[in-house]
Amino acid sequence: MKLQSFCIVFALIIIPILLVLTYYIQLQVDTVTLQTEYDTKLLDATYDAMSSFEINTANEDLSSVSDALRTIIEASNNVFFNTLSTNLGMSNASKSYVEPYVPSILYALYDGYYIYAPTKVPEILTNDKGVALAVGDYQNSSNPDEEKYKVVFKEDGYYKLIKDLPTDDVPMVYNDDIGTDYGQILYTAKDDSGKTKMDGSDILYTPDPDKALLKTKNVLKTYMPYSARYKDKENGKYDINVTYTLDNYITIEGCLYPPTDRTIYVTKSGYLINTSNVKIRRKKDDDTAIIDNYSESGIQKYIEDGGEIYVEIDSLEIVHISGLNKKAIDDELVFLKNQIEDAQIIKNQIKDAQQINDKYSEIAEKINLKFHTSAESNGDSIISVCNSLITDRQYKLSQISSAVYYCKAYLFTNWVIDNFGRGGAYVVHENNIQEISGIPLEFENNDAANNNSIISTNGIFDFSKSEDVCVFDLKGSSQTQDRKIGVTEIDEDSAFYTHKLNVIRNSMQYNLNLAMTAYSENATIDYAMPIISDSEWEDILSNPTIVAFMQGFNCGLKTYNNYVIVSSTNNEISVSPNNIYYVKKDLFNDENSEYHKINCEHILDQLNSNPDNIGNMTDFISFTSKEIKYDKIFNKSKSNSYYWYDHKNLACYYCINDGNYDGIAGGIFNKTNGSDYDYPSLVRAYYMSLAKERNDLYKPNAVTNNIETEVVYDNNTDHADVNRSSYKALKDIDYIEIVFKDIKINTLEVATVPISVDENIGTFNTNSLNANDSRNQTRILNINSNIGSNTKVNCEYLKKEISINGVEVKNFKDNNNNPINPIKYIKVFYKK
Partner 1 sequence: MSDTLITMIAILLAAILMFIFPLLSISERSDDISQLSVQTAVTEFVDNSRSIGKITMDNYDKLLATIQATGNSYDVEMEVKVLDENVGKKSAWIQGTVIGENVYYSVFTTQIIDTITKSPNGVYVMKEGDIFSVSIKNTNKTMSQTIRGVFYSIAGGDVYSIAAQHSGVVTANGSN
Minimum CB separation from partner 1 for residue 618, in Å? 23
For partner 1, which stretch binds (CB under 8 A), given 229-237, 575-583, 694-702, 724-732? 575-583
- Closest CB to partner 1 among residues 387, 821: 387
723 in Cβ contact with 769 (< 8 Å): no
The rounded distance, in Å, linking the Cα atoms of 664 and 595 is 16
- Closest CB to partner 1 among residues 258, 556: 556
Kindly determine how many residues on this chain lie close enough to bind partner 1 according to the rule CB under 8 A: 52
Minimum CB separation from partner 1 for residue 655, in Å? 10
Other C-beta atoms closer than 10 Å to the C-beta of 25 total 10
Other C-beta atoms closer than 10 Å to the C-beta of 169 total 13
Minimum CB separation from partner 1 for residue 18, in Å? 5
Per CB under 8 A, the list member of 16, 20, 29, 353 interacting with partner 1 is: 29
Strands (E), 57-111: 105-108
Q: Rg (Cα) of the chain, in Å, rounded? A: 34
For partner 1, which stretch binds (CB under 8 A), given 41-49, 87-95, 516-524, 746-754? 41-49
Whole-angstrom CA distances from 111 to 164, 440, 504, 727 are 52, 20, 9, 33
- Closest CB to partner 1 among residues 10, 371: 10
Burial 717-745 (b: 16+ CB within 10 A, else e): eebeebebbbbbbbbbbbbbbbbbbbbbb
- Closest CB to partner 1 among residues 49, 757: 49
Minimum CB separation from partner 1 for residue 4, in Å? 6
Minimum CB separation from partner 1 for residue 647, in Å? 5
- Closest CB to partner 1 among residues 18, 132: 18
For partner 1, which stretch binds (CB under 8 A), given 304-312, 417-425, 561-569, 748-756? 561-569
- Closest CB to partner 1 among residues 649, 777: 649
Contact pattern for partner 1 over residues 1 through 20, marking x by CB under 8 A: --xx-xx--xx--x---x--
Whole-angstrom CA distances from 536 to 37, 40, 503, 694 are 21, 18, 16, 26
The rounded distance, in Å, linking the Cα atoms of 279 and 488 is 11
Short-list 245, 248, 598, CA closest to 410: 248
In three-state secondary structure terms, 558 is: strand
Q: Give the contacts of 815 (CB within 8 A, at least 6 positions apart).
A: 744, 745, 746, 747
Minimum CB separation from partner 1 for residue 6, in Å? 8
One-letter amino acid of 232: D
Minimum CB separation from partner 1 for residue 58, in Å? 13
- Considering only residues 529 to 558 of the shown chain, the ones binding partner 1 according to CB under 8 A are 539, 543
Per CB under 8 A, the list member of 146, 365, 493, 591 interacting with partner 1 is: 591
- Closest CB to partner 1 among residues 25, 132: 25
Minimum CB separation from partner 1 for residue 129, in Å? 41
34 near partner 1 (CB under 8 A): no
Q: Give the contacts of 737 (CB within 8 A, at least 6 positions apart).
A: 778, 779, 780, 781, 825, 826, 827, 828, 829
For Cα atoms 785, 790, 794, give the angle at the middle one, nearest 5 degrees: 95
Minimum CB separation from partner 1 for residue 575, in Å? 13
- Closest CB to partner 1 among residues 6, 182: 6
Minimum CB separation from partner 1 for residue 605, in Å? 17
In three-state secondary structure terms, 798 is: helix
Short-list 640, 695, 639, 546, CA closest to 335: 640
Per CB under 8 A, the list member of 139, 140, 569, 768 interacting with partner 1 is: 569
Minimum CB separation from partner 1 for residue 661, in Å? 9
- Closest CB to partner 1 among residues 430, 594: 594
- Considering only residues 423 to 442 of the shown chain, the ones binding partner 1 according to CB under 8 A are none
- Considering only residues 628 to 687 of the shown chain, the ones binding partner 1 according to CB under 8 A are 628-629, 631, 646-648, 650-651, 656-660
In the chain the first and final C-alpha atoms are separated, in Å, by: 104
Minimum CB separation from partner 1 for residue 653, in Å? 8
The rounded distance, in Å, linking the Cα atoms of 578 and 198 is 62
460 in Cβ contact with 246 (< 8 Å): no
Per CB under 8 A, the list member of 16, 20, 28, 676 interacting with partner 1 is: 28
- Closest CB to partner 1 among residues 169, 492: 492
The rounded distance, in Å, linking the Cα atoms of 268 and 409 is 11
- Closest CB to partner 1 among residues 35, 452: 35
- Closest CB to partner 1 among residues 186, 697: 697
Minimum CB separation from partner 1 for residue 590, in Å? 10
782 in Cβ contact with 763 (< 8 Å): yes
Per CB under 8 A, the list member of 295, 339, 432, 568 interacting with partner 1 is: 568
Other C-beta atoms closer than 10 Å to the C-beta of 499 total 23
The rounded distance, in Å, linking the Cα atoms of 545 and 49 is 11
In the sheet that 752-757 helps form, which strands lie side by side, from edge to edge?
768-770, 752-757, 802-804, 807-808
Minimum CB separation from partner 1 for residue 576, in Å? 8
- Closest CB to partner 1 among residues 35, 78: 35
Per CB under 8 A, the list member of 86, 520, 567, 789 interacting with partner 1 is: 567
Which parts of this chain interact with partner 1 (CB under 8 A)? 3-4, 6-7, 10-11, 14, 18, 21-22, 25-26, 28-29, 32-33, 35-36, 39-40, 43-44, 47, 50, 539, 543, 564-570, 576, 578-579, 591-592, 625, 628-629, 631, 646-648, 650-651, 656-660
